[in-house]
Amino acid sequence: MASRKAQKERLRAERLRREAEEQAATRRRRLVQYGSGLGLLAVIVVVVAIVVSQSGSSASGAGAGGNVVDASLVSKQLQGIPQDRTVLGNPGAKVTVIEYGDLQCPVCKAFSFDVAPNLISQVVGKGTADYEFRQFPILGPDSIPAAKAALAAGAQGRYWNFVELFYRNQGEENSGYVTDSFLTSIAQAAGVRDISKWNSDRQSSKWDAELSKTRSDAQALGFNSTPSFVVEGPGGKKVLGSGVIPLSQIESAIESVQ
């Protein structure tokens, strides 16, 4: 009798153990499924965020007829820094960092993204040097109206906003994105107040002499690509060459010509 009861207990315990094992296995399977689902969902969300982050400032903005991106970012970057036509920074600074750039140039855009923000905040904003961007439109026919549009924005004190916003909305070189509509969008987002004056200014021939002088100055310095840099100060002139010049090299050049 007792052994029969013990056997029943043993069988029951075995059944409970089996059920517990099955439940544990089911739970493990379910966790793996849920974990994989969550992982996949997280990967999708992160990939979407990265795509948005990467494309947020590319040609998909105003260049494709959409809205101008990063207007507030550029405005913040230049806030409180004086602008005098093509020159950004303290008018009393003894040293000038001069960039010869083309608004269609992707390497100039890289400089504008990777080095210019620190050059502006750490050097220009502190009055150590000012920063001049000279229009050197060499990449194609669309570079010239873009350069004139920037210079016309400069006549209303918004040259640097225009240049920086152009880079943040730049399209593919010579793809035809530099339309009147694109330039107008950039000018409006850059804060050019009198758009009709800007329109007539940018179409006039009054910038031809300036563009021609910039071209001959650049050639005299041996520049044939953009962006190219030279630093001028009381101690002389330091030609830095072309490409995405690191900030440390620009700072050394500023020290050497002070």
Q: Which residues bind another protein (CB under 8 A)?
A: 16, 19-20, 23, 27, 30-31, 34-35, 38-39, 41-43, 45-46, 49-50, 52-53, 56-57, 69-70, 72-73, 76-77, 79, 113-114, 117-118, 121-122, 168
CA distances for 104 relative to 21, 120, 160, 169, 173, angstroms: 67, 21, 15, 10, 6
Q: How far is the CB of 45 from another protein (least distance, A)?
A: 5
How far is Cα 207 from Cα 205, in angstroms, rounded to an integer? 5
Asked whether 81 and 88 are in contact (CB, 8 A), the reply is: yes
Among 245, 254, 256, 253, smallest CA distance to 115 is for 245
Q: How far is the CB of 193 from another protein (least distance, A)?
A: 22
Shorter beta-carbon distance to another protein: residue 27 or 206: 27
For residue 234, how many other CB atoms are within 10 A of its CB?
8
Q: How far is the CB of 35 from another protein (least distance, A)?
A: 7
How far is Cα 58 from Cα 73, in angstroms, rounded to an integer? 14
Shorter beta-carbon distance to another protein: residue 6 or 42: 42
Shorter beta-carbon distance to another protein: residue 11 or 16: 16
Shorter beta-carbon distance to another protein: residue 1 or 52: 52
Q: How far is the CB of 9 from another protein (least distance, A)?
A: 12
